[in-house]
Structure 1
Amino acid sequence: MRTTDLSELAAFDAVARHRSFRRAGEERGVTASAISHAVSNLETRVGIRLLNRTTRSVSLTDAGGMLLAQLSPAFGKIGSALDALNQFRDTPFGKVRINAPNSVAPFVLGPVIGGLIARNPNLELEIVATDRLVDIVEEGFDAGIRLGESLRDGMTAVKINPRLRFAVVGSPAYFQRRPVPTSPADLQDHVCIRNMYPTSARYPWSFSRGGQEIDFEPTGPLALHDHELMIEAALAGIALAYVWEDRAQPLVDSGRLIRCLEHWIEPEDWLYLYYPTRKHMSAGLRAVIDAMRAGSPDRSR
C-alpha cells in the first residue's frame, strides 16, 4: 500500500470517529479542507461513497461503517507496534493529547509540564483546557482529567495529585461593609456569587465540619462559571467567591483577598486521569501518568 493510501485511510478514520472534518483536521494536525480532499481521493479510488455529507453533519454510509469496523482495530495495532519501538529509545516518543478542566489545569498540569518535557524531549504534549464535559473518545484525546464523580463507565481511572480544595474569599473593601462570616449560616446575610457549570447548571457551596454537611445555595445577583471572573468580582468588592484554594491563595497572601470559613471546607474528591479501558496505553501516556502520580499518598487506584 502506498503512503498516500494509508494517509487517506487515516483521514477517513478520523472523520468517521469524530463525525466532523474540522475535528478530524485538528486531530491530524492539518486543515479540514486537506482532510476532505484526502477522503474524496479515497472514495474515488475505491469507487464507493463512504460518507454522507451535509452542511451540518457527517454520517457513515453502510460501506463506510463496514470499512471503519475493519480499520479501527488495524490502526490500533499499528499504534501499538510503533509504540513498542520505545523500548529501543531512551525516552517515550510521540503526541499525547490531554483534556482537563480549565479551572484546575494550571494547578494540576502546570507544576509537571516542565519536568515532563525535560525528561522526555521526544514527547509532544497537547493540552486542551475547557470546563465543558468532553467525550475524550469522540474528540480524539488520549486521556482526560476529571473529579471522580464525573467519570464515565468504560474508563480506566488513575488517582493523581494534587487533591484540590475550595476557599471562600472576599476583598477588604467588602468586609468593611459586612462582618466576616464564621459559619455557613452567616452567608445568608452576604452577597455570594452563584457557581455554574458551562451548561448553566448550578452547584452549591459545600461545607463540612464535625460530621455536619451543609450545601449552601447562593441567591446573589451574579452567576459565573469561570473562576477567573469570580476572583475579579471578589477583588472588586462585589461579592464573596467560592473558588479553588490554589487560585485564591496568592491574593490572600498579598492581602488583596481575605479568606473565611476555612475550617468548614474539606478537600474535594480526588482528581483522576482517565483513558479508555480498551485502548492501548502508549509509553508517552504512561510517562504523563507517572509524573502526575508522583508523590501520591494513596496508590490504591
Structure 2
Amino acid sequence: MSMDIALLHAVVEVAKAGGFREAARVTGSNASRLSDAVRRAEQQLGIRLFHRTTRTVVLTEAGRALIDRLLPAMNEVDAALDALNRYRNTPGGTLRLNVPVSAARLVLPALVPEFLRRYPDIQLEIVAESNVQDVFRDGCDAGIRYDERLEQDVVAIPIGPRIQRFAAAASPAYLDVHGRPAHPRDLIQHQCLRGRFASGVMPPWEFEREGERLSVEVKGPLVVSVGGAVDLALGTAIAGTGIIYLFEEWLRPAIDSGQLEAILQPWWLSFSGLYLYYNDRRLIPAPLQAFIDFVREANGAL
C-alpha cells in the first residue's frame, strides 16, 4: 500500500496532540489542513483512525494500533533526516524551547540574537508560559527552568546569570504618601500588587536577611497572571498605586530612571539562576546540540 508520508505525519501529530487545533498550534500548521490530511489518510487506508466529536478527537482501536507501530518508525525517520545535518556547513531545522516568561524577558535576549546570527538555518520557536512543569510539553526539544531537580535521563546546564534576586519597589509619590516600610512585615499595611500562577497559587512575598527568612501574605488592589500581565503591574506601580515585588532585573530600568524607588533592599531574596534541561538518552537534534554548545560557550565567557 502506497501512502504519502506527509499524511502519516499529520496522523501522528494529531494523535500526539489530542486534537486538530492543538496539533496545528504545536506544528505551526492549520487545523483544517491537518483535518483534511487525516481524512485523506483514512480514505487511502480504508479505515477510520479517529473518533471525532465537536469537542474531542480520540484514536479508534485501529488508530491506536497504527500509532503504536508508526510513532517509533517516524522517530527513526526524523533521526535519519537530522543526521544529514553533520554534512552541512551549519546545522538547520527547528528548535523548540519551553521557557518561563521571565527567561524570555531577562535571559534569552542576551543569547538569541547572536545564536540566530551564527546559525541562520535554525528556526527557533519559544513557548513561554508561567506554570508548566513538563519541559517537553508541546513537542519541545528542551526547556528552561529555575529548579535543578532532575528527572531520570534529564541533564541540566546553567544558562544566564547564576544568581538572581527578587526586589521590592514603589514610586516615590506612593512612598511619600504611605510611608517607607522598614521591615517586610510593614508590607501588611500597604497596597501591594500581586501575581497569580496559572495553577491559581498566589505566592507570598519572601525575604531573607542574615539567615532570617520570612514570608509575608500581602494584600492590594491588583492581581495579575504571572507572566502575561506583569508589565501591567509594573506600569501600575510606576503610576503610584502600590508596591511591586518582582525580579530585580525586571525592575532595574525603572529604579535606575527614578520611576521606582527600591525598598527593603537588605531583605531582597537571592536564588540560583536558570538551567537548560534536555534528555541526553534521546538522539539530540542538531539544532538543540548547537544551542547546548552555544550556551556552554557563553557560560565559559562569564
What is the correspondence of 1:1-301 to structure 2 with a 5 Å cutoff?
5-133=4-132, 135-148=134-147, 155-163=154-162, 164-225=164-225, 226-276=229-279, 278-296=281-299
Q: Structure 1: how far apart are the matches of 2:230 and 2:297?
A: 27
Structure 1 residues 15 and 43: alpha-carbon distance in aligned structure 2, compared to 1, 3 A threshold: same
Deviation at 1:149, TM superposition (A): 6.9
Structure 1 residues 154 and 32: alpha-carbon distance in aligned structure 2, compared to 1, 3 A threshold: farther
Deviation at 1:68, TM superposition (A): 1.1
Deviation sequence 1:170-203 (CA, Å, 0-9, x none)? 0011111133223212222322122211233111
Conserved? CA contact 1:209–1:264, under 8 Å: yes
Q: Structure 2: how far apart are the matches of 1:227 and 1:220?
A: 15
Deviation sequence 1:193-238 (CA, Å, 0-9, x none)? 2221123311111111211111111122322223212201111111
Q: Structure 1: how far apart are the matches of 2:278 and 2:54?
A: 32
Output the amino acid matched with 1:109.
Answer: L
Structure 1 residues 185 and 207: alpha-carbon distance in aligned structure 2, compared to 1, 3 A threshold: same
Conserved? CA contact 2:136–2:143, under 8 Å: no
Q: Structure 2: how far apart are the matches of 1:74 and 1:262?
A: 56
Q: Structure 2: how far apart are the matches of 1:218 and 1:97?
A: 37
The unaligned stretches of length 5 or more in structure 1 are none
Deviation at 1:250, TM superposition (A): 0.7
Secondary structure in 2 matching 1:49? coil
Deviation at 1:150, TM superposition (A): 8.2
Deviation at 1:136, TM superposition (A): 4.9
What TM-score, normalized by structure 1, do the two folds share? 0.90
Deviation sequence 1:82-104 (CA, Å, 0-9, x none)? 22222212221101112222233
Deviation at 1:64, TM superposition (A): 1.1
User: Percent sequence identity over matched residues?
Assistant: 40
Deviation at 1:7, TM superposition (A): 0.3
Q: Structure 1: how far apart are the matches of 2:292 and 2:214?
A: 34
Deviation at 1:245, TM superposition (A): 1.2
The unaligned stretches of length 5 or more in structure 2 are none
More strand by share: 2
Deviation at 1:138, TM superposition (A): 4.5
Q: Structure 2: how far apart are the matches of 1:154 and 1:127?
A: 23
Deviation at 1:275, TM superposition (A): 3.4
Secondary structure in 1 matching 2:167? strand
The alignment's C-alpha RMSD in Å is 2.3
Structure 1 residues 134 and 210: alpha-carbon distance in aligned structure 2, compared to 1, 3 A threshold: closer
Structure 1 residues 17 and 151: alpha-carbon distance in aligned structure 2, compared to 1, 3 A threshold: farther
Count of residue pairs the alignment pairs up: 297
Secondary structure in 2 matching 1:180? coil
